[in-house]
Chains A and B, each alone.
Chain A
Amino acid sequence: MPPASSFEEAFVTLSTTLNEVEDEMTSIPHNPANWQSDGRMYPPQKDSIRAVPDYPHVVRLRTKGHNIFIAENGSIEVRQVRSGAVLFSKPGLDGKGVWK
């Protein structure tokens, strides 16, 4: 995944990457309207956005077991909900991470 320079770019790159992986792994067609019950993995939807207190440049997207933080500079961090452990992080195009 190439580094992104904005939230929008990071969100689209993340979604595209996850969808492409699923396209390879399953025969179930991509249909977000069915996403809760068709057995396919889906990236978080934009309506899942939450603000992050004290960090106005960062938003959080919640999925079943993960919190995905995306900053306005395009950086991404994925944490496990239960433990808070960082599972993935990628700086933005400016080289800075989510929390700068």
Chain B
Amino acid sequence: MAEFEVDVPDKLGGSGWLDVQLEQKSVVVEWRAGKGFGISSTPTEGLGEGPDEVYRDAAQAAKRVVELLTKNLRTKPPLEIALAKLRGKLHISQEDLADALNLRQASVSKMERRSDMRVSTLGKVVRALGGDLEIRARFPDFEVKITQFDKPGNRNQDRGRRSRPVAR
């Protein structure tokens, strides 16, 4: 049987915590108004870490907690990554990416150092790396996928240049 411990703040508006333990496995759930339910497997390192997974819906969060504990799984922390690191993680060289994008290697290098780029360019790069770009907007009470840039008519006209995924 699982053990639950609820830890609520003195003032309304602060984070509430639910510690759940089932045999040797445990998870912690943080709830904050407007932010949803943050779930993390424990033990956990690092003072001040955010949750590994966030769910807006209580039912989904509860389902995930049950899954984690009954199937002996661990939450997956979010990844934040810059393009150059992503390319490295996929073991793709700048030269190979440049080839897939019909660019020079120097252009890829310059692009990876930019802090701003067109959505269409980012999409081409991600597709050339073998992925798909999805843009999501997060609001206090909901999250939504932005589809405006998915429509063919809204894509940048890039005549004569097509990108293809890097062959691996």
Contacts and interface: CB of A to CB of B under 8 A. Distances in A.
Contacts, number: 89
Interface residues of B, number: 32
Interface string B11-45: 10111010100000010101010011010101111
Interface residues of A, number: 30
A66 to B, nearest CB: 5
B81 to A, nearest CB: 10
A50 B9 contact: yes
Interface of B: 7-11, 13-15, 17, 19, 26, 28, 30, 32, 35-36, 38, 40, 42-51, 54, 78, 80, 138
**Chain A interface, >50% SS class:** loop
B82 to A, nearest CB: 8
B51 A64 contact: yes
B9 to A, nearest CB: 6
12 contacts: A37-B50, A39-B78, A41-B48, A45-B15, A47-B11, A62-B7, A62-B9, A64-B51, A65-B44, A81-B28, A81-B42, A82-B43
